[in-house]
Amino acid sequence: MNEEPLISLENVTFAAQDKTIIRNLSYEIPAGIATAFVGPSGGGKSTVLKLAAGLIVPSEGIVRFRGQEIATMNRAKTLAFRKQAAFVFQDSALWANQSLRQILELPLKIHFPTMKAEERTQRIVAVLAETGYRKDLDIRPAALSMGEQKLIAFARALVCQPTILFLDEWTESLDDNAARRLVDIVQGKHQEGCTVAFVSHNIPVIRELAEKICIIEDGSVSRCVTAAEFARDKTLAKTIEEGITQ
């Protein structure tokens, strides 16, 4: 008997502003697996990631978490899902009117309401040390470079110690050392059992992290392969490197 997928997208269509972005797409994300969504710009890969994370609701079809439809979960179940699943947005999506400290504290206040202020501070300090951010926390995102904003967004995703990571181009705007650090963190979390679903155009990162590679084109799944198949299929690898992921 097949194990139930952690997250499943069933005949999902998503339209916005009179444009259909995802068309009748079905895909399953198994627990504990690292999946890379790749494809041309505008093909829908980031939208698939947001649908899988329950951040947007499909126009048609169903997205399930452990067999339950995410869109119809009650508040308690939704909070429990949000506690487990963290998302790093491509543009970081930091709240402009809050300090970095407030941004990092908010998930802890929501998901750990009895946690003391000192404990929140300790958790934040530990996560920031891991990501490599060493500047002031009492400033707002506008004072940061794009790379620094990405570090804060990544730290916010880790602060509740999630078991599912959704990562949308999370190494963009970072220098090589910072990107390497974040890839190592994700690798470590995955080795501990964390499920990882990510969008990237970085071929070395895809090769290093992904156990499954799902190609999204024109709002649909055009092909899915394992890491081993990807490594053997030189034509596919070359196609991706020459522009599918650009």
What stretches of 30-180 adopt beta strand conformation (E)?
A: 34-38, 60-65, 68-69, 85-88, 164-168
pLDDT at residue 239, as a whole number: 73
Q: 61: closest CA among 29, 15, 4?
A: 15
Q: Give the chain's domains with CATH numbers.
A: 7-244 (3.40.50.300)
pLDDT at residue 2, as a whole number: 56
Task: Write out the DSSP string of 181-193.
Answer: HHHHHHHHHHHTT
What phi and psi, each to the nearest 5 degrees, are found at residue 199? Answer: -110, 130
116 contact partners, CB below 8 Å, separation of at least 6: none
pLDDT at residue 104, as a whole number: 98
- pLDDT > 90: percent of the chain: 84
pLDDT along the chain (246 residues), means of 10: 83 94 96 94 93 97 97 97 97 96 97 97 96 94 95 97 97 92 97 96 91 94 91 78 57
Q: Tokens at residue 148, please?
A: 């620094």
